[in-house]
Each structure stands twice: as structure tokens, then as C-alpha cells.
């Protein structure tokens, strides 16, 4: 084969670029489904920092509505999902307890947007995450996790209770279902791209 043959054979090929990496944060209160959501959609084995809930932690964290919960995130969760050949989301889940709040700034740095997961049975636990994203000016959507296939309040009631701006999307999803998590993340992605003029 001559050098010309080699050039001719390669002329029809185009360089394949790796997908654009995009950082997305999944946040919310204790036990709302953050770790479950990351695990449901991640195309790799998710990295989790789950630790057993001790008697001491059980005295601090309200387990009333999550009696079967035996572990909790103490640093972050990490996973990733390729949306299409051009885009890959890197997912960072925050710890839910206030005592781990000092880590949020590091986890959120460089994120395009956030998904704040809400348990409508415990709306009080969600204020801190909503306030954080509003204060930082990071685009986010509120995702109401349908525990046992139902939610306790309508979207309008949740928007009013959390005092979420009209421009912030609210969706109902199931953190256990891959397609449902994907759809919720796409809402955040579309919002973030629209705000950035992309």
C-alpha cells in the first residue's frame, strides 16, 4: 500500500469526539431518594459513601417515615450516564443531613444544574436544598419522589409550600425507575441550557 492509498482510505473518516462532560447535582433532604436515583440511572457501578445508621445517628435523623432505612450518605454519591454521543452527565449526590452541609459548596462547584428531590411527606426537610440553589443562582428543578406510587400534595401545593419561583420546573418522578430519573434530569438540562443561551 502506498502513502497515497493510506491517505485516500482515511479521507472518508471523521474524528470521533468524546461526549461533552456535564456535571449535575442531585440534592435534597435525608432519605428522599438521592442515592437511589443515582444508582437507578448510572451506567457504571455508582460510587456511594453509605454508612450504617448508628443509634447515635438515629437519635439525630428522623427515621419516622423511613423506618427501613439502615444506611445514609456521609459524603456524596457519584455516577454517570451518557445521554447521547455528544453529552455525558456526571452525577453528584449530596448528603442530606445538615451536619454534612459544609461539603455542598465543593460538590456543587462547576455544576450546570441541580435536581432537588422532595418527599412530600416531609416538606420541611427540603427547604435548605431549595434555598441553597436559589441563593447560588444555579438552575434547578424540583423532583417529587412518588413513594409507593403516590404523592401527598399537588404540584401547585408543593410550589406554594416551598415558595418556588414559577420559572423553576416541578416534576413527579420515581427514583427507582431509570427512565423516570432520566426524564427528570433532562428537565434540568433543558432549563440550564436555556438559561445559558445554549
Mean pLDDT for the chain? Answer: 80
Secondary structure (3-state) at 166: coil
Please, are residues 30 and 62 in contact by the beta-carbon 8 Å criterion? yes
CA dihedral 20, 25, 31, 35 (to 10 degrees): 20
Write down the pTM of the prediction.
0.77
Please determine, for residue 186, whether its predicted confidence score (pLDDT) is greater than 50. yes
Please determine, for residue 61, whether its predicted confidence score (pLDDT) is greater than 50. no
Please, are residues 22 and 112 in contact by the beta-carbon 8 Å criterion? yes
Task: State the cell numbers at 61.
Answer: 435523623
Q: pLDDT-derived band of residue 147, with 50, 70 and 90 as boundaries?
A: confident
Q: pLDDT-derived band of residue 150, with 50, 70 and 90 as boundaries?
A: confident
Amino acid at each position: 500500500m502506498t502513502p497515497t492509498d493510506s491517505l485516500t482510505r482515511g479521507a472518508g473518516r471523521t474524528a470521533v469526539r468524546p461526549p461533552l462532560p456535564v456535571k449535575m447535582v442531585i440534592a435534597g433532604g435525608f432519605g428522599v431518594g438521592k442515592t437511589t436515583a443515582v444508582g437507578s440511572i448510572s451506567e457504571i457501578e455508582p460510587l456511594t459513601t453509605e454508612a450504617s445508621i448508628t443509634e447515635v445517628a438515629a437519635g439525630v435523623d428522623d427515621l419516622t417515615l423511613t423506618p427501613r432505612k439502615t444506611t445514609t450518605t456521609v459524603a456524596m454519591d457519584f455516577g454517570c450516564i451518557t445521554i447521547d454521543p455528544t453529552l455525558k452527565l456526571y452525577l453528584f449526590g449530596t448528603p442530606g443531613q445538615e451536619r454534612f452541609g459544609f461539603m455542598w459548596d465543593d460538590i456543587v462547584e462547576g455544576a450546570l444544574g441541580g435536581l432537588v428531590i422532595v418527599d412530600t411527606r416531609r416538606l420541611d426537610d427540603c427547604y435548605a436544598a431549595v434555598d441553597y440553589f436559589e441563593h447560588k443562582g444555579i438552575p434547578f428543578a424540583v423532583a417529587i419522589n412518588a413513594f409507593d406510587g403516590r404523592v401527598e400534595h399537588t404540584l401547585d401545593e408543593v410550589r406554594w409550600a416551598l415558595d418556588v419561583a414559577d420559572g423553576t420546573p416541578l416534576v413527579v418522578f420515581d427514583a427507582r425507575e431509570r427512565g423516570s430519573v432520566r426524564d427528570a434530569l433532562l428537565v434540568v438540562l433543558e432549563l440550564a441550557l436555556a438559561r445559558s443561551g445554549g
